[in-house]
Amino acid sequence: MTKCSFCGIEEHDFKGVHLIKNDGTIDFFCGSKCRKNALKLGRDKRRMKWTEAYRLSRAKAEADAARLKEKAAEVKAAKSAKAEGKVAVKAKK
Ligand SMILES: [Zn+2]
C-alpha cells in the first residue's frame, strides 16, 4: 500500500502512477484526478477540499482558533476577577 502524494489515500502499488523524478524522489498518484491536479493544473493540495492535507490544515486551524478563544476567555476572567478584587479592597476602606 502506497500513500497518494496529493490526496493522501492509501492505494495498492499496482494502481495509479509512480512518478520518479531525476533527484530520486518518488511521487505516487492514485488516479488521473490527483496527477492532473498536481502536475498539469499545479493546484495546492491544502486548498482542495477532498484531500487529507486540507482536512489536516483545517483541523489545525480550528484547534488554533479554539485555543485562542480559551486564552481570551481566561484573560477576560482574570481581568474581571482583578476588577472585583479592587472593588472589594475599596469597600473595606
Ligand atoms: Zn490521490
Mean pLDDT of all residues in 44-60: 93
Going from the Cα of 8 to the center of ligand 1, the distance in angstroms, rounded, reads 6
Give the whole-angstrom CA distance, residue 16 versus residue 68: 41
Going from the Cα of 22 to the center of ligand 1, the distance in angstroms, rounded, reads 22
Are 50 and 7 in contact by the 8 Å Cβ rule? The answer is: yes
Q: Long-range contacts: 31-40, Cβ < 8 Å, 24+?
A: 33/7, 34/4, 34/5, 34/6, 34/7, 35/6, 37/6, 38/5, 38/6
pLDDT tens track for 58-89 = 998 889 899 999 999 999 998 888 887 776 66
CATH class of 2-92: mainly beta
Q: 3-state DSSP call for residue 22? A: coil
For position 81, what pLDDT does the model report?
A: 85
Domain ranges of the chain: 2-92
For position 80, what pLDDT does the model report?
A: 86
Going from the Cα of 47 to the center of ligand 1, the distance in angstroms, rounded, reads 14
C-alpha cell at 5: 502524494
